[in-house]
Structure 1
Amino acid sequence: MCTVCGCSEGEAKVEGQAIRPYQAHSHALIQGKFPHTHAAHEHTHTHSEQDTHDYGQGAARAHAPGMTQARMVQIEQDILGKNNQYAQQNRQYFASKAILALNLVSSPGSGKTTLLTETLQRLHGKLPLAVIEGDQQTNHDAERIRATGVPALQINTGKGCHLDAHMVGHALESLSLANGGLLFIENVGNLVCPAAFDLGEAHKVVILSVTEGEDKPLKYPDMFHAADIMLLNKVDLLPYLKFDVQQCEDYARRVNPNIKILHVSATSGEGMETWLAWLMQQRSGLVAQHLNALEQQVQALRNSLQL
Structure 2
Amino acid sequence: MKVIVEAKAKIMAENENQAKINQDFFNKNNLFCINFMSSPGSGKTTLLEYIIKNNLLKLCVIEGDLETNKDADRIINAGAKAYQISTGQSCHLDAKMIDNALKNLDISESEFCVIENIGNLVCPASYKLGEHLNVVLLSSPEGSDKVAKYPVMFKRADVIVLTKMDIAKHFNFNLEEISEEAKKLNPNVKIFCVSAATGEGVAELCEYFKNQRA
- Normalised by the shorter chain, which TM-score bucket? over 0.9
One-letter code of the match for 1:160?
S
Q: 1:201 aligns with which of 127, 131, 135?
A: 131
Match of residue 262, structure 1, among 180, 192, 206 = 192
Deviation at 1:105, TM superposition (A): 0.3
Partner Cα separation in structure 2 for residue 74 and residue 100 of structure 1: 33
1:228-258 CA-partner distances (Å, limit 9, x unpaired): 0000111111221121111111111112111
Mapped contact 1:218–1:255 kept (Cα < 8 A): no
Q: How well do the aligned residues superpose, as a CA RMSD in angstroms?
A: 1.4
Q: Structure 1 residue 179: deviation in Å? A: 7.1
Tell me, yes or no, if structure 1 residue 281 matches structure 2 residue 211: yes
The number of residues matched between the two structures is 214
Alignment of 1:89-238 (within 5 A): 89-123=21-55, 127=58, 129-178=59-108, 181-238=111-168
Gaps of 5+ in 2: none
Q: CA deviation at 1:121?
A: 1.6
Deviations 1:74-98 (A, max 9, x none): 2321111010111111011111111
User: How far apart are the structure 2 equivalents of 1:192 and 1:204?
Assistant: 14
Give yes or no for contact 2:19–2:130 (8 Å, CA) kept in 1. Answer: yes
- Secondary structure in structure 1 of the residue aligned to 2:36: strand
Bigger fraction of residues in helix? 2
What secondary structure is seen at the aligned counterpart in 2 of 1:98? coil
Residue 140 and residue 179 in structure 1: after superposition, are their counterparts in 2 closer, same or farther (change >3 A)?
closer
The amino acid that maps onto 2:19 is A
Q: 1:99, 1:179 within 8 Å by CA — same for their partners in 2?
A: no
SS at match of 2:78: coil
For 2:110 and 2:76, the matched residues in 1 are separated by 20
Normalising by structure 1, we get a TM-score of 0.67
Report 1:45-84 matches (<5 A).
68=1, 70-84=2-16
Query: Take 1:111 and 1:196, find their aligned partners in 2: how far apart are those partners?
Result: 22
Alignment counterpart, residue 180 of structure 2, candidates 216, 239, 250: 250
1:286-301 → structure 2 map (5 Å cutoff): none
Give the fraction of aligned pairs with identical amino acids, expressed as a percent. 43
- Equivalent pair of 2:60/2:110 in contact (CA under 8 Å): no
Deviation per CA, 1:200-247: give whole Å up to 9, x if none.
000111000111111111111111111100001111112211211111
1:176 positional shift: 2.0
Deviating above 3 A after TM superposition, structure 1's stretches of 4 or more consecutive aligned residues are 70-73
Change (3 A) 1:77 1:179: farther
* Larger RCO: 1 or 2 (CA < 8 Å, sep 6+): 2
Q: Deviations over 1:61-120 (max 9, x none)?
A: xxxxxxx3x444323211110101111110111111110011100001111111111112
Unaligned runs of 5+ residues in structure 1 are: 1-67, 286-307
TM superposition shift of 1:123: 2.4
Q: Is the 8 A contact 1:97 1:180 kept in 2?
A: no
Q: 1:266 & 1:221 partners in 2: Cα distance? A: 26
1:122 maps to amino acid = N
Gap change, CA 1:131 and 1:71, over 3 Å in 2: same
What letter matches 1:87 in structure 2? A
